[in-house]
Amino acid sequence: MAASGEEIDVWHQPWIPWLDFNCFNSLMESIKPKGYTVRTLADLSIGNEWNKEVVQQIFGDLGNRITEIPRLPLNHKDKIIWTGKQNGIFSIKSAYGTDQEAHFDKKKKGIWTWIGHSDLHPRLSTFLWRVLNEALPVREKLRFLLDKDCPLCNSAEENCLHLFKNCGFAKMLWFSGKIPLLVDKIPGENVIQFTENMVTSLENSNYDRKEILTYMGCVWEQIWRSRNDLCRRGIRANLDMMKRNIEMAFQSYSTYSGKDALVDIFSDPPKNRLEEAYWQRILDGKRVICTDASWLRGEARLAAVMRMKNLESWAHKTSRTKAESALIAELKAILLALQWAWEKKWDRICVLSDCAQTIQALRAKQCPPFWKTFNVALEILDCSK
Ligand SMILES: [Zn+2]
């Protein structure tokens, strides 16, 4: 991943993330005879941005896509990324995994296409994305927590697969729902496999893929909500109520079609969440900026809402941008908040996000363990100094 690009050899170091080494080499071999004098990526750049004219001249049609490859801020060094792993760090184990994965690649890609490119409601696809990437703050992930038991059943460690499939509570909900399922009969070592197998097992049913994924998202969302209600407010879930909520959510998410305008997150202001969960902890005199993002098919909508406790004043800022994943969208919303604060010269601010992994990493002044987010994350870290 390039900052200035000075340390990256254009001809020999594979710097185009979607090409494997062989494809990269053959691309370069095809260009070499034209006798260009460029040596490093810096020759294709102006600062840490792509020199569009030069890139297009050399790469033709591919140029447009290349100029969308993210660049790191200029005060950072070019980074070597192992794309086989989300955190970008090479290991022998991961190299072996990558080799094995090549066999299953087709199937694996399917699921992300289903979620990113179907007519799913953006909020639901973002939630599914978080579950499938195990990006929810379940207890297994929280290093500082000693009690790792599932809060709903107290009989196993809480991780995504347990909470959404193996927990007695989840089983009951699946079994007694609109699409009755014995989830024990659906294999899966992780949530991704479980999802793939569930969709496959229902292929010949009366439900199409959108309905199945929508239903799955509604069940999971409801489980996650009930689990949070129990953990944060001590409210025990009522199965009938949960089933009604799932039914209602399913109805409203089902009417969404990708052709509609994006249903934005602003109709449901983040201030509720802010007031309930965080408000008391916020120091007086600080501006609090709450961030959120919705994401669909590479398009993200970002929102930041600023409130100041004692002044009762508030303001908001929104933006639209491209983002490759929901996580990148969340990060871009945080960056939007920081840049906004910088513009307005607000010096004492506190930025809130509900994206747990991001917060954990940024607090430790690190990038989240997903290399595709490094460029935005570094910008955030620079901005927050
Ligand atoms: Zn459980």
Judged against a pLDDT cut of 90, whether residue 33 lies above it is answered with: no
CA of 166 to the centre of ligand 1 (A): 7
Distance 161 CA to ligand 1 centre (A): 10
Number of C-beta neighbours around residue 352 at 10 A: 20
- Cα of 110 vs centre of ligand 1, distance in Å, is 29
Q: Give the containing element (helix H, strand E) for 318.
A: strand 313-322
Residue 152 C-alpha to ligand 1 middle, in angstroms? 5
User: What's the gap in Å between 159 CA and the centre of ligand 1?
Assistant: 9
Using DSSP bridges, classify how beta strands 45-46 and 49-50 pair: parallel, antiparallel or unpaired: antiparallel
**Ligand 1 centroid, distance to 37 Cα (angstroms):** 62
Tokens of 323: 């983002």
- Per the DSSP assignment, residues forming a β-bridge with 46 are 49
Here the contacts of 153-160 (C-beta below 8 Å, separation 24 or greater) are 159/134, 160/131, 160/134, 160/136, 160/190, 160/191
Q: How many angstroms separate the CA atoms of 132 and 39, rounded?
A: 41
Q: Phi and psi of 290, rounded to 5°? A: -95, 130
Question: Taking residues 59-86, what's their average pLDDT?
Answer: 88
Cα 46 to middle of ligand 1, angstroms: 54
How far, in Å, is the centroid of ligand 1 from the Cα of 229?
15
Compute the distance from residue 171 Cα to the ligand 1 centre, in Å: 10
**Side-chain half-sphere exposure of 43, counting CA atoms within 13 A:** 11
**From edge to edge, which strands make up the β-sheet containing 313-322?**
313-322, 299-308, 287-296, 349-352
- Cα–Cα distance measured from residue 231 to residue 175, given in angstroms and rounded to the nearest whole number: 24
Least confident of 266-275, 309-318, 334-343: 266-275
Ligand 1: centre distance to CA 156 (Å): 6
**126 burial type by CB count under 10 A (0-12 exposed, 13-18 middle, 19+ buried):** buried
Q: What is the pLDDT of residues 89-116, one digit of tens each?
A: 888 877 776 766 654 454 556 787 788 7
pLDDT-derived band at 365, boundaries 50, 70, 90: confident
Distance 100 CA to ligand 1 centre (A): 32
pLDDT above 70 coverage of the chain, percent: 87
pTM for the structure as a whole: 0.48
Ligand 1 centroid, distance to 172 Cα (angstroms): 11
> CA-to-CA distance for 91 and 84, rounded, in angstroms?
9
Please give the distance, rounded to the nearest whole angstrom, from the Cα atom of residue 128 to the centre of ligand 1: 19
Per the CB < 8 A criterion, the answer to whether 263 and 280 are in contact is no
